[in-house]
């Protein structure tokens, strides 16, 4: 049916070896395609998780020379799926990268790019702090793309905490919101599901959240628990752990129209002053 979209989320535990990460991701993408997925989504940092800034910058490439991107374009073409590569680190200067999502069509062509807008500069506790702006160049453009009857709104991880981005995507027509992520274990346990459900409810949209999970080679710990949420805020599919795997979900896009008709909050903006 035109209003249905069979999706798959790939949960990973990416490490410091890009070639191995590409191999692992491709195996799960092909598994999802064999199960009938039309859209397959991988998590943030699909091809590399490397905390050491120097080694990170050594391992990445400009977009035109990135082996991971070429490999995933070939996989999309071979399997005939739309493939959202949650993000790759793409070198944009000697000292900076873009954290960039790529949407690839079944012909193996890139049809959308999105650079993460909100950077993860936080002090979670005395033992864990992050400063993505040390080596990541933020994006400044929100992006949507069509997949049949679906309009996909792109985002990455920490963007999830900025509701205005998702409202803008939904008001631009997005009925499916992608949130590929590498949430920390501490914040994931407390905030992951509640924030995902909030974005789905506010926007009357499906939310697809493929995640990194587990203890990575560089010592980083991520939450996993990939999930799919419907426009009413119900979790319709989830992985209950941080192990690598494939999560399948069928989206009935008519549910977005129903939710937005019942609660048309996207049309109820009003100006206000703050005093």
Active-site positions read 44, 116, 157
Please give the Cα distance from 184 to 222 (Å, whole number): 4
Tokens read off for 211 = 């995640």
Hey, is 104 helix, strand or coil? strand
In DSSP terms, 249 is beta-bridged to: 7
Residues 206-243: b if buried by 16+ CB within 10 A, e if exposed: bbbbbbbbbebeeebbbbbbbbbbbbbbeeebbbeebe
Whole-angstrom distance, CA of residue 242 vs CA of residue 11: 8
Packed helices 163-171 and 193-203: angle between N→C axes, nearest 10 degrees = 30
The pair of structure tokens assigned to 231 is: 């426009």
Residue 6 near residue 33, CB atoms below 8 Å: no
Nearest 10 degrees: Cα torsion 189, 193, 194, 196: 140
Task: Report strand pairing: 121-123 vs 129-131.
Answer: antiparallel
Could you tell me which of 14, 3, 2 has the C-alpha nearest to residue 210?
Answer: 14
């Amino acid at each position: 049916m035109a209003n249905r979209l069979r999706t798959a989320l790939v949960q990973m535990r990416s490490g410091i070896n890009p070639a191995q990460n590409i191999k692992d991701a491709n195996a799960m993408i092909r598994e999802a395609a064999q199960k009938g997925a039309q859209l397959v989504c991988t998590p943030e940092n699909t091809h590399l998780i490397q905390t050491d800034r120097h080694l990170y910058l050594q391992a990445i490439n400009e977009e035109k020379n990135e082996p991971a991107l070429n490999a995933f374009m070939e996989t999309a073409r071979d399997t005939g799926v739309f493939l959202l590569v949650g993000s790759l680190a793409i070198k944009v200067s000697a000292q900076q990268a873009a954290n960039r999502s790529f949407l690839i069509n079944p012909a193996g062509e890139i049809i959308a790019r999105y650079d993460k807008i909100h950077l993860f500069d936080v002090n979670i506790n005395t033992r864990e702090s992050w400063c993505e702006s040390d080596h990541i160049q933020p994006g400044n453009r929100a992006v949507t793309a069509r997949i049949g009857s679906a309009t996909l709104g792109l985002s990455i991880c920490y963007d999830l905490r900025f509701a205005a981005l998702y409202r803008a995507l939904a008001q631009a027509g997005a009925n499916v919101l992608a949130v590929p992520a590498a949430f920390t274990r501490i914040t994931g346990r407390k905030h992951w599901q509640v924030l995902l459900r909030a974005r789905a409810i506010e926007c009357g949209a499906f939310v697809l959240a493929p995640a990194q999970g587990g203890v990575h080679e560089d010592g980083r710990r991520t939450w996993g628990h990939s999930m799919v949420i419907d426009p009413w805020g119900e979790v319709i599919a989830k992985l209950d752990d941080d192990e690598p795997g494939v999560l399948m979900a069928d989206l009935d896009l008519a549910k977005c129209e129903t939710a937005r008709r019942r609660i048309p909050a996207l049309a109820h903006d009003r100006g206000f002053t703050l005093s």
